[in-house]
Amino acid sequence: MQERIKEILSEIEQFSAESKEQLEGFRIKLLSKKGDISQLFDDFKNVAPELKREVGQKLNELKNRAQEKLNLLKEKLEETGSADKVLIDLTLPGEQVNIGTRHPISIVRKRIIDIFSRIGFTLADGPEVEDDWHNFTALNFPENHPARDMQDTFFITGDFALRTHTSSVQVRVMENKQPPLRLLAPGRVYRNEAISARAHCFFHQVEGFYIDTNVSFADLKQTLLYFAKEMFGEETKIRLRPSYFPFTEPSAEMDISCNICGGKGCNVCKYSGWVEILGCGMVDPAVLDNCKIDSKKYTGFAFGMGIERITMLKYQIKDLRLFSENDIRFLNQFRSE
């Protein structure tokens, strides 16, 4: 009898059920009135008295084991439909989730906004389809200025064109609000240029301006020095060269000490040690007057920079076209902060 108990036990261990019918069949085979285990219980009376205690115990264990196994398989079948299939194998390595990366232009735009927001600049916005007044006339462009020429501007109809710079947002803000104004206007701009490694028909700019009483050129210089150091590193130097823009007087272009060679001279700075990053100046009183801001009471500075240019310098990117080709091999190299 002990042998028979062992046999049934190993049968129980090996059994697995694909379906409820199979499981029920197994139950009947073992535990029904005429089942294998019930049979053993019937035969128990023939066991020698001195073995009764030991065999009785084993028999009870067998019955319990059979019942346990049946319960377990029943539970599994209810969960998965098949006792062999386990729902999830938690030991398997996870599937890789490809999260996207931010576009380098977005990364740098955010960085610029962060830097200026720390000194009180907030954001302003304006339309990309702009009228002549906001893009040119209010900004003091003379009637026959070459920037109005068909070559540089995508005209739409009549008075409308795609904005050629974000300086138009200055006008929109100043027309609607009185100083103090300290704003940053990032956005896309368009120019009718042949596409090459160094020029594109659309790109991004950030315009900044500060209008208040007693704003001076020294404020402009200090603000831009702060920006250059935050953007390109503490050791960065700036240099302002006189320039001309219709909407600022005086006007300047700002260079930073070359962030690649540290000013020693390399092919990025064309061995001059300096690279140009933005245009700036004191807002021309005529522009303030055009926007109904009292130019006797208020002064202000403004600056405008190309985000692509800053990004190219920061990451040593040599071709402007990479920004709009959406090549995943290029884009995947950038991680947002």
The helix/strand count (H/E) of the chain reads as: 12, 9
Considering only 135, 140, 153, 167, the residue that binds ligand DAH (CB under 6 A) is: 167
Q: How many residues sit close enough to ligand DAH to count as binding (CB under 6 A)?
A: 11
User: Which alpha helices (H) appear in the chain, and where do they start and end?
Assistant: 2-14, 20-31, 36-43, 49-80, 104-117, 132-135, 167-176, 217-232, 285-290, 307-315, 322-325, 328-331
What are the DSSP calls for 286-312, one per residue? Answer: HHHHHTT--TTT-EEEEEEEEHHHHHH
Residue nearest ligand DAH (C-beta atom): 304
Considering only 281, 291, 300, 308, the residue that binds ligand DAH (CB under 6 A) is: 281
Please say which residue, 5 or 147, places its beta carbon nearer to ligand DAH.
147
In the region spanning residues 106 to 145, those forming contacts with ligand DAH, defined by CB under 6 A, are: none
Instruction: Estimate to the nearest angstrom the gap between the alpha carbon of 158 and the chain centroid.
Output: 39
In the region spanning residues 222 to 251, those forming contacts with ligand DAH, defined by CB under 6 A, are: 245, 248
Considering only 303, 307, 311, 320, the residue that binds ligand DAH (CB under 6 A) is: 303
Interaction between residue 304 and ligand DAH (CB under 6 A): yes
Interaction between residue 290 and ligand DAH (CB under 6 A): no
Shortest separation between residue 244's beta carbon and ligand DAH, angstroms: 10
Q: Are 307 and 165 in contact (CB under 8 A)?
A: no
Q: Decide the pairing of beta strands 181-190 and 122-123.
A: parallel
Closest CA to 36 of 68, 69, 12: 12
Considering only 165, 172, 182, 204, the residue that binds ligand DAH (CB under 6 A) is: 165
Shortest separation between residue 207's beta carbon and ligand DAH, angstroms: 5
The C-alpha R_g of the chain, in whole angstroms, comes to 40
Phi, psi of 310 (to 5 degrees): -65, -40
Shortest separation between residue 334's beta carbon and ligand DAH, angstroms: 25
Residues that bind ligand DAH (CB under 6 A): 165, 167, 207, 245, 248, 279-281, 302-304
